[in-house]
C-alpha cells in the first residue's frame, strides 16, 4: 500500500496569471513562540480549531505569466527537518524545472523562506534566476550592528551569518526594490514589522487580484482572531501589529483574495469580519482554471 501523500501543489488563476501554491511542509513550535497572549488561551484557541499544537505550514508560490516564471520564496530547503523541504520536489511535480525560473521574489529573509534558494554547498538551486529583495531587508541582514544586538552567538549564526551565506551565489544577480512592479503583473507591497523589509506581492490581471501577504500571520487560528498576538522573531512587534491590522482591514474591505506562506495548504483564502475581529474563509475550490475565479 502506497501511503505517500499526493504531491503538494495547487493552481489558481488570476486573470492571465497562473499561481501555483507549492507546499514545503510544516513545523511544530510551542505556544511560547507567541507574545501578547497567555499560553492557556492560545492552547484553547488551537484546540477549538482542532489543532493539538502550534503547527505552522510553510508554502511558496510559483507565478507564471506569459513566458515568464517567478518563484515567491523557496521554503527551508532539503535536509533541515523531515517535515519540511519539499518545494523542489513539488516544483518538479508541477511540471517546472528549476532552470526555467527566471525570477526569485523574497518576502523576507528568514530561513523558512530563503533555505531553498541554494544547496548546502552554496550552489544556486535556480541557476538562471535574478533574486529580488527589499532594500531594507538586505540592509538589516548585512548589518553587523543589528547582528550584535542578539546576545546569543548561535542565534547570530543562524539568523545573520547563514542568511548571508545562502545569498552569496546571488549577490551578482540581485536587485533590491522599495516598491512598484517588479515582475509582469506583480507589484511589491512593503509590509514591515515582522522584518524591516517584509514584503507582500500584489498580482493583478484582467480585473482580478491576489495578495501574497508573506508572514502577516504565522498561526492563523490565533492571529486572525487576535491580531495583537506577535511572534518572538518579529523585529518590530508594534509595527507588525499595525501592519497586520491594516492589511486585514484592507483585504476585508476590498474583498481581496489572499495567499500566505503560513496558511494551511493550499493556502488561498479570504478574510471576513467576525464581530470585532476577523475569520479566515478558505478560497472556493475549482478545477476550472479557465473559469471566472472570484
With a cut of 60, say whether residue 90 has pLDDT above it.
Answer: yes
- If you average pLDDT over every residue of the chain, what do you get? 95
pLDDT tens-digit profile of 235-256? 999 999 999 999 999 999 999 9
DSSP-derived 3-state class of residue 291: coil
The pTM assigned to this predicted structure is 0.96
C-alpha distance from residue 134 to each of 19, 150, 182 (Å): 22, 22, 11
Q: Are 60 and 24 in contact (CB under 8 A)?
A: yes
Q: What is the pLDDT at residue 5?
A: 83
Q: Residue 293: is its pLDDT beyond 60?
A: no
- Which helix (H) or strand (E) segment holds residue 39: the answer is helix 39-48
Span 254-281, pLDDT tens digits: 999 999 999 999 999 999 999 888 999 9
135 Rama sector, left if φ>0, alpha if ψ -120 to 50, beta otherwise: alpha
Mean pLDDT of 215-223: 97
Helix (H, G, I), strand (E, B) or coil at 197: coil
> Which phi and psi angles does 167 have, rounded to 5°?
-80, -15
pLDDT of residue 51: 87
The C-alpha atoms of residue 191 and residue 30 are separated, in whole angstroms, by 26
Amino acid at each position: 500500500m502506497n501511503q505517500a501523500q499526493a504531491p503538494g501543489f495547487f493552481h489558481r488563476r488570476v486573470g492571465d496569471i497562473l499561481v501555483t501554491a507549492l507546499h514545503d511542509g510544516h513545523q511544530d513550535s510551542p505556544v511560547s513562540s507567541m507574545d501578547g497572549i497567555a499560553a492557556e488561551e492560545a492552547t484553547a484557541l488551537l484546540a477549538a480549531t482542532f489543532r493539538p499544537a502550534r503547527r505552522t505550514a510553510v508554502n511558496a508560490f510559483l507565478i507564471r505569466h506569459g513566458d515568464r516564471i517567478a518563484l515567491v520564496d523557496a521554503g527551508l530547503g532539503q535536509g533541515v527537518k523531515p517535515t519540511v523541504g519539499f518545494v523542489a520536489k513539488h516544483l518538479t511535480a508541477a511540471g517546472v524545472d528549476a532552470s526555467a525560473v527566471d525570477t526569485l521574489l523574497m518576502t523576507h529573509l528568514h530561513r523558512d523562506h530563503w533555505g531553498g534558494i541554494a544547496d548546502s554547498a552554496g550552489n544556486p538551486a535556480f541557476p538562471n534566476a535574478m533574486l529580488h529583495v527589499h532594500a531594507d531587508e538586505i540592509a538589516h541582514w548585512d548589518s553587523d550592528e543589528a547582528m550584535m544586538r542578539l546576545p546569543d552567538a548561535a542565534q547570530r549564526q543562524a539568523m545573520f551569518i547563514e542568511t548571508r551565506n545562502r545569498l552569496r551565489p546571488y549577490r551578482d544577480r540581485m536587485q533590491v526594490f522599495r516598491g512598484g512592479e517588479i515582475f509582469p503583473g506583480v507589484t511589491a507591497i512593503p509590509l514591515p514589522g515582522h522584518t524591516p523589509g517584509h514584503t507582500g506581492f500584489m498580482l493583478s490581471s484582467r480585473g482580478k487580484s491576489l495578495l501574497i501577504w508573506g508572514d502577516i500571520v504565522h498561526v492563523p487560528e490565533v492571529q486572525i482572531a487576535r491580531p495583537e498576538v506577535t511572534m518572538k522573531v518579529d523585529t518590530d512587534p508594534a509595527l507588525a501589529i499595525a501592519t497586520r491590522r491594516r492589511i486585514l482591514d484592507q483585504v476585508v474591505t476590498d474583498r481581496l483574495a489572499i495567499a500566505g506562506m503560513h496558511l494551511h495548504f493550499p493556502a488561498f483564502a479570504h478574510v471576513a469580519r467576525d464581530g470585532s475581529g476577523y475569520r479566515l474563509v478558505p478560497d472556493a475550490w475549482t478545477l476550472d482554471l479557465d473559469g471566472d475565479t472570484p
